[in-house]
Structure 1
């Protein structure tokens, strides 16, 4: 892979289009785009995709989708700024919150002060699984997955997760796996936000 391909794949051009790069980075990217057609075309493609996505989905974007978009940008930025790449352990019925303590306690993995209903921070992402810290103030609406399993480990607070007709009342330390093809929703039952380690595993 050549230097230009590495640059394009680094994620910095997406951050540039989103307006999240520094003045120095903006200057560097502008110069590169002026002298390299591949970079210019990539910026144009990102801008076009963002415009199409905005026009198509912006009026209906959910708080959860917005939180995940922002979490992805945050994760990309953290890696770009030198965060060491690491992979969280796979969650299962024997998992403990302390198994993820090295990520949970990090200063850059804390909830945003001004979030409205949901916030998220990505711990790690691989083709097999994405592990995320999620904070829910009220809950999450019903959804169905056909391409990924969801695993929940409650880190703080309490919630009720309904899978089909079955209700599961969960407290800190509890684990729950969500099967494919069955609708499920989350209702927060504690006075504080429910902090969840969510892992999405490719089916």
Structure 2
């Protein structure tokens, strides 16, 4: 392990990244280092595993969204380091269509990897400002509040109800919904099949 990698790991930025406490500039640096150094990808995975074990040991429920998105980040960086060209999916707008994302939705390597537990994700584009992913949700996602990013859903398959401050927002194929900042919300899947979505997180 070279000195730059060792100093980067020792700086604590990986732990901050896992907890979502990094700045846009730090996220950009992290993405570059993940792409260039396998040691950092391995260390990031080790931190994620340690976090999950700690939560289990404390008898605290593990947020089901943490692991799939950490794994999706590592997978994306590995794909880029293996030669996949960086792509820039369009930002979701009011007139966006599912077909706008067919280049990614139709890729064999961006399908479900096996039986769905709760949530699976594949990142298809990432910049310091905007992350786009294909996401499958089996039952739902727990309550949370976004303070630094706008989260937008484009429903590809299935149906869901995004409950924002107690208000139902029923969504089906082709529907688009952006979750307001500082509002408690959670997701309920209302279809017999998992809800498949294009999910974007835009820095606010």
Question: 1:137 offset after TM fit, Å?
Answer: 0.6
Output one character per residue of 1:133-163: Cα deviation in whole Å (capped at 9) or x when no partner: 1101101111100000010000101111111
**Alpha-carbon spacing, 1:15–1:183, altered in 2? closer, same or farther (3 Å):** same
TM-score for both structures, normalised by structure 2: 0.76
Output one character per residue of 1:77-110: Cα deviation in whole Å (capped at 9) or x when no partner: 1111111101111111111111011011111111
Distance (whole Å) between structure 2 residues aligned to residue 50 and residue 93 of structure 1: 35
Distance (whole Å) between structure 1 residues aligned to residue 174 and residue 76 of structure 2: 25
TM-score for both structures, normalised by structure 1: 0.76
Aligned residues: 172
Output one character per residue of 1:154-180: Cα deviation in whole Å (capped at 9) or x when no partner: 010111111112111110100001110
Match of 1:13 in 2: 39
The question of whether the paired residues in 2 share the 8 Å contact of 1:131 and 1:197 is answered with: yes
Gaps of 5+ in 1: 20-46
The question of whether the paired residues in 2 share the 8 Å contact of 1:120 and 1:133 is answered with: yes
Q: Which has the larger radius of gyration?
A: 1
For 1:72-83, list aligned pairs within 5 A: 72-83=73-84
Match of 1:172 in 2: 173
Gaps of 5+ in 2: 6-31
